[in-house]
């Protein structure tokens, strides 16, 4: 209760000190203005039916070889260098700009509204407690929590934990190494029996993290896991 109040006051203070400015064109009023939001590059077909790898129809060779544990990955946008979505995800993750989370979650909600995804529970991709301590928040959980409020669906951020903190995905040189690095990092601490899970993260690069999370969720009984990210790398 007190935490919520303090965080509200803090948000208002930040908004006054730093009025919202569009990351695309600099106009005041929002983080991504309507015009820039409309112009964002959408992740459009063809994409791999499983991992959403762009420009691949059916199932990509990667998914045929790796057999990811998620049912599929969906994302509204392509992660285009220097686009407002790129800036927003970078600023949310590394620049501590938490005010971006509600707007990115609203974009996710709009995207979901146009689809017929069936799910029971929203689960954010967890971060390791050590990383959480140094960063102060988990951007995936912020997004998932905002999304859960907008679409009025339950979220559980305690079902899945990150037990092992493998090196950053961005530093692993090859896709295979990234994949190997992260497998086994996650654990479901309670049963997910029969649940259809919507697994939320900010960005999907290889799908390795999503697959490792999905493996843990399915071990705990989840009946399906669909990964939802704001953007997918090309
Ligand atoms: Zn703009
Ligand atoms: Zn694929």
pTM exceeds 0.75: yes
**Second-level CATH architecture of 42-232:** 3-Layer(aba) Sandwich (3.40)
Task: State the CB neighbour count (10 A cutoff) for residue 96.
Answer: 13
Q: What is the 3-state secondary structure (H, E, C) of 181-201?
A: HHCCCEEECCCCCCCEEEEEE
Point out the ligand nearest to the CA of residue 48. 2
Give 71 or 166, the one with higher predicted confidence. 71
CA of 43 from ligand 1 middle (Å) equals 20
CA of 75 from ligand 2 middle (Å) equals 13
Confidence of residue 133 (pLDDT cuts 50, 70, 90): confident
Q: Where in the chain is the domain with CATH 3.40.50?
A: 42-232
Point out the ligand nearest to the CA of residue 65. 2
pLDDT value of position 125: 97
CA of 104 from ligand 1 middle (Å) equals 14
pLDDT value of position 166: 73
pLDDT value of position 112: 97
Q: What is the pLDDT of residues 87-107, one digit of tens each?
A: 999 988 887 778 899 999 999
Q: Is the pLDDT assigned to residue 171 strictly greater than 80?
A: no
Contact indicator for 51, 29 with CB cutoff of 8 Å? no
């Amino acid at each position: 209760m007190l935490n919520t109040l303090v965080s509200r006051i803090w948000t208002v203070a930040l908004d006054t000190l730093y009025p919202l400015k569009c990351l695309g064109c600099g106009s005041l009023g929002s983080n991504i203005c309507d015009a820039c939001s409309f112009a964002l590059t959408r992740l459009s077909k063809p994409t791999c039916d499983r991992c959403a790898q762009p420009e691949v129809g059916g199932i990509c060779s990667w998914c045929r070889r790796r057999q990811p544990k998620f049912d599929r990955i969906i994302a509204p946008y392509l992660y285009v260098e220097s686009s407002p979505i790129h800036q927003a995800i970078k600023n949310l993750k590394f620049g501590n700009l938490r005010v971006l989370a509600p707007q990115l979650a609203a974009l996710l909600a709009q995207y979901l509204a146009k689809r017929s995804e069936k799910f029971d529970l929203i689960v954010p991709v967890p971060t390791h407690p050590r990383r959480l301590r140094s960063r102060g928040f988990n951007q995936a959980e912020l997004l998932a929590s905002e999304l859960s409020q907008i679409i009025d669906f339950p979220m559980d951020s305690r079902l899945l934990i990150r037990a092992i903190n493998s090196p950053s995905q961005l530093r692993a040189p090859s896709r295979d190494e990234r994949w190997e690095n992260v497998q086994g990092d996650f654990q479901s601490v309670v049963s997910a029996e029969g649940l259809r899970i919507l697994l939320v993260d900010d960005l999907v690069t290889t799908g390795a993290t999503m697959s490792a999370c999905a493996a843990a969720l399915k071990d705990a009984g989840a009946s399906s896991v669909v990964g939802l990210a704001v953007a997918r790398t090309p």
